[in-house]
Amino acid sequence: MPFRFLLVALTFCLSLLLYIDRACISTSKEAMVEEFGFTDVQWGWAMAIFTLGYALAQTPTGTLADRTGPRALLGCIVGLWSLMTAVTGAVGGYVQLLIARFIFGATEAGAFPGLARATFNWYPVKERGLVTGINFSASRLGGAAAMFLMPMLIAAVGWRGAFYILGGVGIVFAAIWVLVFRNDPTEHPRVSEAEKEYILANRQQVSSESVSQIPFATIIRSTSVWLAMIQYFCSNFTFFFALTWLFPYVKETYDLNPSTAGLLCALPLIGGAAGNWFSGFLVDFLFVRSGLVWSRRIPAIIGFTLAAIGLYCSLQMTDATSTILFFTLALFGADMTLSPSWSYCVDIGGKSAGAVSGTMNMAGNLGSFATALAFPTIKSYFGGPSAFFVFAAVLNVVAIAIWFRMRPDQAIGEK
């Protein structure tokens, strides 16, 4: 088996752990509120400030991935976010929680830009979509695992003990990453000469006219990058609700116990994982048959359409199961947009794929920031959540229009 296929298992586990640690706080809400007496608005800020730290650190850490390579960067990132997971378990009040969450978000920021750079270095263009889909599917499965397992872990060792355990697991994984991964296939002793030649011949070739690293000023002025940022904001607005507010919303609305709510709320995230797999396959399938532009555009447009339909239909449901099923459709669609979005960043960014994808992800996580605050605010102002879901559906329609203007065949930084 080619070594790069085994490497996917390592990046899959990194993404899985990333989202277990990120999502675990959602299931800790009841225990933490009981101990500290937080209001919903305070809890919303605790969720939101994570995404603010995450968003602000995206471009700097993406640039570091391009300059230093993903091996050292991701090893440090996993170790630091795992440390902050454990620190979260030691907080003694609201201000400490806000500080811990902000730093936690900043330490996680470079994970996906680093993985984007690793994908650029290690995989032929025709394999890029599926690899990206697999990695993002792991994040959704990690979120689903947190929804299902964390209530049981909290019941066994308390919410603080659960955070300590997760932090320890992450530090061990950071060491494994540094031992196993290398920045480029030419540096790895386990990669055969035949596989090295195949990767080098079929991975993205950067034009000789391109600058080796695109200045950030050029990136941020690029219309292509701004289009990617806006549509990713729309995608994350839908997704982050599932990671933060869906569990308490379903539990409280339908008066469910934590285990039942966790089981139901895992389903949309599993749907998101399926959306990543399907979209990753579709991106590579269409690349071979229809070329670069439509291999990115078609999966994204289908995904945003399904997301809008799922969100709107969930409003018409009156029981937990039906609501979750339509939200699963919405998340399947929203996550179909990830593989084309990140593949697009690698397409237009080349050797600056980390910085470009980090800039897009910064905007996406401003969408997450907005979601964390918008849901409790809109719910309180309108007396219910309907307006929030309608607004999220409209954002998905906006993203469909944006994708008709996006051109992955036009790289930035070329003369």
pLDDT, position 352? 81
- The C-alpha atoms of residue 359 and residue 66 are separated, in whole angstroms, by 13
Predicted structure pTM score? 0.76
- The answer to whether the CB of 43 falls within 8 A of the CB of 29 is yes
pLDDT tens sequence across 246-269 = 888 888 888 888 888 888 988 998
What lies within 8 Å, CB to CB, of 21 at 6+ separation is: 81, 82, 85, 108, 166, 167, 170
* Whether residue 50 has pLDDT greater than 80: yes
Query: 210-239 b/e with 16+ CB inside 10 Å = b?
Result: bbebbebeebeebebbbbbbbbbbbbbbbb
Of the pLDDT bands very low, low, confident and very high (cuts 50, 70, 90), residue 179 is: very high
Span 325-369, pLDDT tens digits:
999 999 999 999 998 998 899 889 877 877 888 889 888 888 888
pLDDT cut 90: percent of the chain above it: 45
Lowest mean per-residue pLDDT among 93-107, 202-216, 307-321:
202-216
CATH 2.30.30.40 fits 3-201+211-403, yes or no: no
The first and second tokens of residue 388, run together, are 């929030």
Pick from 155-164, 169-178, 227-236, 255-264: least confident: 255-264
pLDDT, the chain, mean: 89
Torsions phi, psi for 307 (to 5 deg): -65, -45
CA distance 326 to 332: 10
Dist CA 357 CA 351 (whole Å): 11
- Smallest CA-to-CA distance from 78 within 150, 15, 8, 9 is with 15
pLDDT value at residue 415: 47
